[in-house]
Each structure stands twice: as structure tokens, then as C-alpha cells.
Amino acid sequence: MANPTPNPTANPTAMTPQAYLLARGRWHPLEIAFWLATLLPFILFPNYLSLASQIAITALFALSLDLILGYAGVVSLGHAAFFGLGAYSAGLFSKYVWGEPFSGLLVAAALAGLLGYATSFIISRFRHLPLIMITLGLGLLAHEVANSAHWLTGGSDGLQGVRTEPIFGVFRFDLYGKTAYAYSLAVLFIVFLCARRLINSPFGLALRGIRENWNRMPAIGADSRAHIRKAYTIAAIIAGICGALLTQTTNSASLESISFQRSADVLVMLVLGGAGRLYGGLIGAAIFMVARDQFSGIAPQFWYFWIGVLLVAVVMFLPNGILGGLSKIYAKWSRK
């Protein structure tokens, strides 16, 4: 600490370390282009705004999984539990309390966060196969609870009587999904900003440390379990928000929202897009959802044939997903 100003000659880029780390959090032009592009559906595909809204919600869900899986390396096969809890609580809130959407969102986020916090004490104790099993088990358990609590959730018939009031009392959820998409997109963007801030924070760095080397963390004085508990709770909150969005924009909540299928799908999307890259989940979700919409004519089992082939291919040939592959090509190309 004798010399607080670093020697600039030792640094080829002539950038102070602080400036270097600050620059990491700066917006890239491609990011701005990406977010501008999310507005295009309003103009180009006005008939597909409902789908666009579903994509935005799913993208946010993938982002939430990315925080724990991509950044902290915590594999979860039961993330839909929080999505489903958010979906049902927003639905029930609108049914029994009132239909104002923002308060419904907050209630769903709070409940999912509570469940996330409670289960994070279990999750953070495990790694590897036991972790996969525990998340799978908790996810299936959540599904069974929703299924057996027929009196509350409507079981396999789905939750009836959800009514969402207009946003700000003005913007009705219309048939074309215009309001739905605007609403979902706005929430996605706001939560994305928070997540972006989080991954560029000291906490985000600690999460990456956990992912990179779990064994080293205690040797630098880090309490990885405390970090994981926190990340897991935050991810659960976001997943709860996603579920609430789905309920509010579709005026229904079903068992599908809390199923293993949803947990597996979101994992596929994230890995396809590229985990640990913030935009990976968003891009993966967009591709997955558009593809599923395009192939909606074919029987679901054949859809899953291609998903299976895709998974094998990604694991074998594209270990960091589409974004990982692209950035590799970009790096090669810019080095020339």
C-alpha cells in the first residue's frame, strides 16, 4: 500500500485497474441494438405479440436460472417450483384480494423469495449428484403439492377466476397481446438491469469465483454457502415474478407452470443460448419459443427428438452455447 497508484507502464493497455473493471460494466453497442430490437415486434409482427410476451417471460425465467447455474454453477432441475409458486400466488391474489397487477407481482416475488430463502439452506449444503437430486425432488414435491391442493389451485383443471385489472387502471390486457408484451418487456428490462448490475458487482465476482473453483473459495476466506443462499433467493424471486407475469398476461395458472417439463425446458434454453453470459438465456429462450411455435403442428414427442439431438450436439460441439460459439468466432476473426 506504499504506492497506491499503479505503474501505468506495467500495464499494456495503459488503463488503471479501476478503469478496466469499470469498463467491464459499460454498455456495448450490440446490447443497445439488442434492446432496441425487442421493440420491433410492435411494428413488424403485431399478430405475434402474445408469443412475444411469452418469450419475454421465458427469457426472464432463463435469466433467473442463469444467475444460479451460469454464474454460481449451481445446477437446478426444479426451478419451475418458484415459477409455479409465483404463477399461483399471483392468480390467487387477483382472485381473492384484488386484480391490480403490480401488487400481484410483488406478492408473487415475495412468496417465491421466501420459499427460495427457506430452501436455499438445503440447496447450499449440496453439490453434484445430490444437488441435482434434491432440486429435482423439491421440484416434483412442489408439483405434487399444487396437484393435490385441488381446492386451492384447481389441480389439473387449472386455476379458474383469475382477473387482472388494467395496468395503472388504464391499459387493458387486449386480445392481441399488445399490453401484455409491453408489460412483460418492461418488467424483463428492469429486472435485467438489476441482474446486470448484480453480475458486475463484488457479489457477482464472488459467484463467478464459486463457479470457477469451489474448492479455492474457502482458502481465500469466502463463505460460498452464504453467497449461494443469497443468489438462490434472488433467482427464486425473479422466477416468481416470471410466473406472476404468465398468470397475469394469460389470466390463467396451470400445473404446467410448475412441472418438471418447464424446469427442463428452461435448462435447455439457457444451455442452448450459452450459460453464464447474461444474454444467453434471453437468446436461447427466443430461439426455443419461436421454434416451438413454428413446429407446433408436429407431435410433441418429435419436437423433443430435435431437442434431444440439439442437447447432444451442444454438449459435444458447442460447450458454451450459441453465444459462446459466436464470441469464439468473433475473437478469432478480430485477431486476424
Partner 1 sequence: MLPPVFGVLFDGIAYGMLLFVLSVGLSVTLGLMNFVNLAHCAFAMLGGYVTVTLVNIFGWPFLATLPVAFIAAAVTSVVLERLLYRRLYRASDLDQVLLTIGLAFISVSVAAYIFGTIQQPIATPAALRGSFEFFGIGLGKYRLFLIGVALLVTLAMVIGLEYTRFGAQVRASVDNQRMARGLGIDVDWTFASTFALGSGLAGLGGSLAIEIVGLDPNFSFTYLVYVLIVVSVGGLGSIAGSFAAAMLIGISDIAGKYYVPELGAFLIYMVMVVVLMWKPAGLFGKR
Partner 2 sequence: MSALDTTASAGIALSTSGLSRSFGSLVVARDINLSLPVGARYALIGPNGAGKTTLINLMTGMLPPNAGTIALGGEDITELSPQARVKRGLARTFQINSLFANLNPLEAVTLAVCERRGISPRFWENIGVNKDAIEEAYDILTKLKLGDVAYQTTRELPYGRQRLLEIALALATKPKVLLLDEPAAGVPQEESGDIFEVVASLSDDLTLLFIEHDMHVVFRFATHIIVLVGGAVFTEGSPAQIAADPGVREVYLGKRHHG
Residues that bind partner 2 (CB under 8 A): 1, 3-7, 10-13, 17-25, 197-198, 200-206, 208-209, 212-213, 215-223, 226-227, 230, 234
In 3-state terms, what secondary structure has residue 253?
Answer: strand
C-alpha–C-alpha distance, residues 186 and 297, integer Å: 31
* Phi, psi (rounded to 5 degrees) for 205: -65, -40
Residues paired with 159 in a beta bridge: 253
Long-range pairs, 322-331, Cβ under 8 A, ≥24: 322/272, 322/273, 322/274, 322/280, 322/283, 322/284, 322/287, 323/273, 323/274, 323/277, 323/279, 323/280, 323/283, 324/274, 324/277, 324/280, 325/274
145 binds, among partner 1, partner 2, none (CB under 5 to 8 A by kind): partner 1
147 binds, among partner 2, partner 1, none (CB under 5 to 8 A by kind): partner 1
State the binding string over 210-229 for partner 1 (x if CB under 8 A, else -): --------------------
Residue numbers 298-317 binding partner 1 by CB under 8 A: 299, 301-302, 304-305, 307-312, 314-316
Q: Does 323 bind partner 1 (CB under 8 A)?
A: no
Query: CA angle at residue 267 from 195 to 105, to 5 degrees?
Result: 45
Look up residue 262 and give its three cell numbers.
418447464
144 binds, among partner 1, partner 2, none (CB under 5 to 8 A by kind): partner 1
State the binding string over 261-280 for partner 1 (x if CB under 8 A, else -): ---x--xx--x---x-----
State the binding string over 138-157 for partner 1 (x if CB under 8 A, else -): x-xx--xx-xx---------
114 binds, among partner 2, partner 1, none (CB under 5 to 8 A by kind): none
Residues 80/236, Cβ–Cβ less than 8 Å: no
C-beta of 323: minimal distance to partner 1 in Å? 16
Look up residue 68 and give its three cell numbers.
444460479
C-alpha–C-alpha distance, residues 71 and 231, integer Å: 9
- Within a 10 A sphere around the Cβ of 190, how many other Cβ atoms? 12
Question: Distance of CA 139 to CAs 27, 221, 304, Å?
Answer: 36, 32, 21
C-beta of 39: minimal distance to partner 1 in Å? 33
C-alpha–C-alpha distance, residues 288 and 226, integer Å: 34
Residue nearer to partner 1 on the CB measure, 73 or 243: 73
C-alpha–C-alpha distance, residues 183 and 193, integer Å: 16
Residue numbers 100-139 binding partner 1 by CB under 8 A: 122, 125-126, 128-130, 132-134, 136-138
C-beta of 122: minimal distance to partner 2 in Å? 19
Residues 268/274, Cβ–Cβ less than 8 Å: no
Residue nearer to partner 1 on the CB measure, 75 or 326: 75
Interface size with partner 1, residues (CB under 8 A) = 43
Residue nearer to partner 1 on the CB measure, 106 or 145: 145
Residue nearer to partner 1 on the CB measure, 27 or 151: 151
C-beta of 322: minimal distance to partner 2 in Å? 18
Of 171, 158, 170, give the one whose Cα is nearest residue 246.
158
Residue nearer to partner 2 on the CB measure, 17 or 29: 17
Residues engaged in binding partner 1 (CB under 8 A): 69, 73, 75, 77, 122, 125-126, 128-130, 132-134, 136-138, 140-141, 144-145, 147-148, 260, 264, 267-268, 271, 275, 299, 301-302, 304-305, 307-312, 314-316, 319
